[in-house]
Amino acid sequence: MASSDGEPAFDIPPALPDGPFERHHVYYLETIVFRVEDTLFRVPRRGFELESPVFASMFSLPPGNHRPEGQDDNSPIVLQGIKKKDFQSLLELMYPMGPNLPVSAHEDLVSVLHLSTMWEFAKIRGYVIKIMDGPMDAVERVILAKKERVSAWLLTGYKNLVGGPEILTLDRIRKLDWETIAKLLAIQHRLLVRGQITVPCRPGCNRGSRRFSAPVNQGPGAEAMLEEEFQNELHHIREEEDAKGWKVRLPPVEDQAIREEQFQEVMTPRYADDDDDD
């Protein structure tokens, strides 16, 4: 648009009102300050308030006669017992910054799983479980399942342990509690006697006993035995998952057990099973 003398003309925007202005119900973000170890973090409050019942309850408490915590650097919310590296990993998933991918290292994912379980971030917890639901050492899977309340991991971990590819040894499962160890050893023995699983023989064994098996395959399988032996533990975890909305859809137990066995075959030294005659 040009003026009568050929000079360009610009529309003058109307003057802005003096206010007060309406705050957008979503994109007017309050921030909150946390102190973790020796570091301050200032982040949007909304993610903590909407996604975590624990923080939502904390923020709803009346401040009393003191200045509300988290308003500035002088009065942060102190998160005792939390490592700043772990908290940063959680924030990287909640508030991604820049072109870098979110947390992907196994150690960092374990930390995020722990914090998201403790603070009941259901969506983040489910996301991390799906990311981690690949090849993983069966003992670590069981330990994480017990600690972070993941029933599907607990069952697949148990199933992979009793189903091979190696005979269970105390050295391998010593990190588990003794009650669990006793049950797993008993179940594997029953499966071996019934011929429902086969396990390669270690070096030095007799050729005729290379595989532990029986000619008749009968009785309940590994999953049914595990469900029966660990029914109370599985029931309590599943009950908690239902109550807190933590149910996560994962691949079938059979598919996961196969993937874990393939992983274990790579990670565990294999013993030769040479059938050639001397």
- Domain-wise residue ranges, the chain: 136-270
Q: Which two tokens stand for residue 32?
A: 């909150």
pLDDT digit of tens for each residue in the chain (278 aa)?
Answer: 555 566 666 677 777 777 788 888 888 889 999 999 999 999 999 999 999 999 999 998 887 777 788 999 999 999 999 999 999 999 999 998 876 667 788 999 999 999 999 999 999 999 999 999 888 899 999 999 999 999 999 999 999 998 866 788 888 899 999 999 999 999 988 888 877 666 555 555 554 444 444 434 445 788 899 999 999 999 999 999 999 998 887 766 555 555 545 434 433 333 334 444 44
Instruction: For the beta carbon of residue 235, count every other beta carbon within 10 angstroms.
Output: 12
Q: What is the 3-state secondary structure (H, E, C) of the chain?
A: CECCCCCECCCCCCCCCCCCCCCCCCCCCCEEEEEECCEEEEEEHHHHHHHCHHHHHHHHCCCCCCCCCCCCCCCCEECCCCCHHHHHHHHHHHCCCCCCCCCCCHHHHHHHHHHHHHCCCHHHHHHHHHHHCCCCCHHHHHHHHHHHCCHHHHHHHHHHHHCCCCCCCHHHHCCCCHHHHHHHHHHHHHHHHCCCCCCCCCCCCCHHHCCCCCCCCCCCCHHHHHHHHCHHHHHHHHHHHHHHCCCCCCCCHHHHHHHHHHHHHHHCCCCCCCCCCC
